[in-house]
């Protein structure tokens, strides 16, 4: 049988760890919000560049350098969209609980 002192110390430890984890979750949420904002800014900042690259690649069809640049851009766009979807989904999930 535990003493009151040991019991109280354990309860205090549980409360402290719970507060630390709540703070970690709040920090994670803030980082996701920040990432989501930067992703939105990237979409605005680079959409014109992506369109121009597509046009330049089409105008230089068959040029290995332009084909490689377009392929690299297409892969980056796919990765970007997946990251944006993940950030959006995490925020929706966080806000739903």
* Residue range 45-56, pLDDT digits in tens: 999 999 999 999
Other Cβ atoms less than 10 A from the Cβ of 57: the count is 19
User: Residue 72: which pLDDT band, with cuts at 50, 70 and 90?
Assistant: very high
Domain segments of the chain: what residues? 29-95
Q: Kindly report whether the global pTM for this prediction surpasses the value 0.75.
A: yes
**61 CB-near residues (< 8 Å, 6+ apart):** 67
Q: Which two tokens stand for residue 72?
A: 């690299």
């Amino acid at each position: 049988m535990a003493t009151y002192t040991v019991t109280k110390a354990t309860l205090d430890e549980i409360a402290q760890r719970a507060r630390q984890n709540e703070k970690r979750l709040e920090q994670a949420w803030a980082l996701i919000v920040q990432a989501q904002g930067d992703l939105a800014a990237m979409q605005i900042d680079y959409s014109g560049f992506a369109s121009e690259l597509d046009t330049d690649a089409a105008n230089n069809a068959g040029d290995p350098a332009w084909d490689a640049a377009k392929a690299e851009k297409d892969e980056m766009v796919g990765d970007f969209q997946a990251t944006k979807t993940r950030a959006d989904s995490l925020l929706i999930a966080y806000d739903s609980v």
